[in-house]
Amino acid sequence: MNSDSLSSPTRLSFSLSDGEDQLDRLQQVELARSTPMSTWKAGTVQAWLEVVMAMPMYIRACAENVKSGKVLLGLTDEDLELGLGVSSSMHRRKLRLAIEDYRDAEGGHGLSKAADMDHHWVAKAWLSDVGLPQYSQAFHNHLVDGRMLNSLTRRDLERFLSVTKKFHQISLLLGIELLHALSFDKEALQARRTQCEHQNMDPLVWTNHRVIKWVKEIDLKVGTPISVPEATCPEFADNLQSSGVHGAVMVLDPSFNTDAMATALGIPGGKHMIRRHLSEEMKALISEARANLQQDSERLSTPTLLRQSSLCRSPGSASRRSEDEGSLRRRACKVGTVGPALLLGHPPGPFPYLSAPRPLQPPLGCSSKSHGARDLGFHGSCGSLPREGRSEAPPRAEGSPMHGYSGIEVTNV
Q: What is the CATH number of the domain that holds 13?
A: 1.10.150.50
266: left (phi over 0), alpha (psi -120 to 50) or beta: left
Q: What is the pLDDT of residues 102-128, one digit of tens each?
A: 999 998 889 999 999 999 999 999 999
Say if residue 145 is in the same domain as residue 71: no
pLDDT at 23: 53
CB 222 within 8 A of CB 376: no
pTM beyond 0.85, yes or no: no
**Of the listed ranges 225-229, 280-284, 295-299, 307-311, the one predicted with least confidence:** 307-311
Rounded CA-CA distance 147/224 in Å is 49
Rounded CA-CA distance 215/235 in Å is 10
Say if residue 123 is in the same domain as residue 105: no
Say if residue 21 is in the same domain as residue 138: no
Say if residue 229 is in the same domain as residue 339: yes
- Domain boundary pick from 111, 141, 166: 111
Say if residue 89 is in the same domain as residue 234: no
- As for how many domains the chain has, the answer is 2
Say if residue 302 is in the same domain as residue 408: yes
Rounded to the nearest 5°, which phi and psi values hold at 316?
-75, -30
| Average pLDDT for 273-283 | 94
Say if residue 336 is in the same domain as residue 400: yes
Q: What is the pLDDT of residues 164-221, one digit of tens each?
A: 999 999 999 999 999 999 999 999 999 999 999 999 999 999 999 999 999 999 988 6
| Average pLDDT for 336-346 | 32
> What amino acid is encoded at 375 in this protein?
D
The boundaries of the domain holding residue 285 are 115-413
Is pLDDT larger for residue 409 or for residue 272?
272
Say if residue 107 is in the same domain as residue 121: no
Rounded CA-CA distance 281/400 in Å is 33
pLDDT at 219: 83
Say if residue 350 is in the same domain as residue 383: yes
pLDDT at 381: 36
Residue 250 has pLDDT above 70, yes or no: yes
CB 173 within 8 A of CB 156: no
